A = this chain, B = another copy of it.
Amino acid sequence: MQTLLDDITAAMAKETERGKVADYIPELAHVDPQQFGIALATVDGQHYSAGSATTPFSIQSISKVFTLTIALGKLGDGLWANVGREPSGDPFNSIVQLEHEGGKPRNPFINAGAIAVVDAIMMGHAPKETLAEILSFVRYIADDERICFDAKVAASEMAHRDRNASLAHFMKAFGRLRHDVDKVLGTYFHQCAIAMSCEQLAHAGLFLASDGVNKPSGLRVVSPQRARRINSLMMMCGHYDASGEFAFRVGLPGKSGVGGGILAIAPGHGAIAVWSPGLDEQGNSLLGVKALEMFAQRTQWSVFGH
C-alpha cells in the first residue's frame, strides 16, 4: 500500500496540467497548486500516506458529509422532509430546481441542501453552539483535537456570500429554513472552513468504510444501514454534475471540496483522502480524481466489481 501511495504521488508530481485553484474567494486563491497529498486509513487499523498528507487545507464541501451525519443523528428520516436525495442533474439546475420543487433542495450535497442541513442541526441554538458541536464531532471521528476552523476563510466566504445568500433566502421564502439567514450562512461558512490534512480526513471518514464503526476505537458512530446510506448519497451526488463521471472512472463513493480535497470510501477496505488544489471545470480536484482513479485501478476496490 505504501508503495502504491508513493507511486501515485510520484505520478502526480509529473503532471503538468494541474487545473485551476478556486478563486471565488481570495483566501482560497492563495494556495500553491503544486501541492499533492494522499492518505489511506484501512478498516484493519493501518495508516498510510504520501506527499503533503499532513498539511491542513480547507475541506469545504467535504464537511457536508459530517454535517449530514450529525443531522441524521438528530432528526433521523425527518431530515428528508426538507432535503431530497436525488442527483441534481447539473449546476444550472440548482436554483431552477429549487423553484420547481418548492424550495426543497435536491440532495444534501449541493449548496442549498447543505445549507438546509445546517439549519436542521441548529435547532434553535446560536451559531457558536452549533459550530462547537460540529467541530467536536469532526475531532471525535478524526481522533484529533487540533482540527480547527480557518476564521479568515470563513470571513472571506461571508463577505462573498451573495450566491449562497440567494439560495438561502429562496428556501426561507418557501419556509424551508427556520433560522435567520445570516446566522445559518455564518455557520455554514465556518463548517466549510474547517481545515484538515489528508491524514485527518482519511481517519475521519473511516467509519463509513467499516459499517459505521470508528476504527480502531471500535466505537459505533452510525448504524451499518446509515453508513451505507451516506455512502450511497456520496456516490450519487458527491461530485456535483460530475458525479456520474467519478462513479464511472473511480467507482467509489466520494465527496469533493473546492479546496481541492476528496474523501473516498472503499466499503470494507478503508477511507482515502487526496488533496491537490487545482480544480477541473466541474470544480473537483483535477489531480485528486486522477489519483483516485489510479488508486482504484491498482487496488481493484471499486464497488462495482473487482
Contact = CB atoms under 8 A, between A and B. Distances in A.
Contact of A304 (B232, B243, B248): B232
A90 B86 contact: yes
A245 interface: yes
Contacts of A229: 248, 304
Contact of A251 (B228, B251, B302): B228
A303 interface: yes
A243 B236 contact: yes
A237 interface: yes
B162 A172 contact: yes
Q: How many copies does the complex hold?
A: 4
A303 B237 CA distance: 16
A13 to B, nearest CB: 26
A244 B251 CA distance: 16
A214 to B, nearest CB: 14
Given A169-B165, A244-B233, A248-B233, A227 B304 contact: yes
Contacts of A89: 86-90, 93, 97, 106
Interface in A230-288: 231-233, 235-237, 241-245, 247-248, 251, 253, 267-268
A251 B232 contact: yes
A208 B169 CA distance: 37
Nearest to A90: B89
B169 A166 contact: yes
Interface string A89-118: 110110111011000001100000000000
A305 interface: yes
Interface in A134-165: 161-163, 165
A36 interface: no
B243 A87 contact: yes
A211 interface: yes
A41 to B, nearest CB: 15
B163 A169 contact: yes
A297 B228 CA distance: 11
A123 interface: no
The CB with the most chain B CB atoms within 10 A, among A165, A169, A305, is that of A305
Contact of A169 (B96, B162, B228): B162
Interface string A205-225: 000111110000000000010
A209 to B, nearest CB: 8
A75 interface: no
The 4 nearest A-B residue pairs measured at CB: A89-B89, A162-B173, A86-B244, A231-B304
5 contacts: A161-B169, A227-B305, A231-B304, A232-B304, A303-B304
Given A95-B170, A166-B168, A232-B247, 17 more contacts: A85-B248, A86-B87, A86-B243, A96-B96, A163-B169, A165-B169, A166-B166, A166-B173, A169-B169, A208-B305, A209-B305, A228-B251, A228-B302, A228-B304, A228-B305, A232-B248, A233-B247
